Amino acid sequence: MSATNKNLLATLFSKKMLITFAFGFSSGLPAVLIGSNLKIWLTREGLSLGAVGFMSWVGVGIGLKFLWAPLMDRWSLGSWGRRRSWIAFSQMALMGLIIFLGTFEPKQSLFAMAVVAVLISFASATQDIAIDAYRRESLNDEEMGLGSSLYQYGYRAAMYVAGGLGLGLVGSDLFAFSWGQMYLTMGILMGVCLLITLLAPEPRLDAENIPRGFEEIIIRPFAELFSRSGAIYILLFTILFKFGDAIAGQMLGSFYVQMGYSNQDIALIAKTIGPLAGVFGLFIGGAVLYYVSIYRALWIFGVLQVLTTAFFALITWTGPQRWALAVVIVLEDLSTAMGSAAFIAFLSMITNKKYTGTQFALLSSLAFVGKIFFSGFSGKMVEQLGWAQFFFACALIGVPGLLMIFKMKDTTN
Q: pLDDT tens across 103-137, in order? A: 998 888 888 999 999 999 999 999 998 998 888 78
Q: How far apart are CA 222 and CA 358, in angstroms?
A: 8
Residue 329 has pLDDT above 90, yes or no: yes
Which among 199, 273, 239 has a CA at the least distance from the CA of 23?
199
On whether the CB atoms of residues 269 and 329 are closer than 8 A, the answer is: yes
Q: pLDDT tens across 197-249, in order? A: 998 888 876 555 566 655 666 677 777 777 877 788 888 888 888 888 888 88
What's the pLDDT at 371?
63
Residue scoring higher pLDDT (188 or 362): 188
Residue 251 has pLDDT above 70, yes or no: yes
Q: How far apart are CA 404 and CA 67, in angstroms?
A: 26
Which among 54, 55, 266, 235 has a CA at the least distance from the CA of 160?
266
Which domains, from first to last, does the chain contain?
12-198+213-412 (1.20.1250.20)
What's the pLDDT at 270?
84
What's the pLDDT at 116?
94
| pTM of full prediction above 0.75 | no
Residue 10 has pLDDT above 60, yes or no: yes
Name the most confidently modeled range: 163-167, 187-191, 396-400: 187-191
SS3 of residue 94 by DSSP? helix
Which among 168, 170, 171 has a CA at the least distance from the CA of 159?
168
Q: How far apart are CA 314 and CA 99, in angstroms?
A: 37
On whether the CB atoms of residues 333 and 275 are closer than 8 A, the answer is: yes
SS3 of residue 170 by DSSP? strand
First-to-final CA distance of the chain: 35
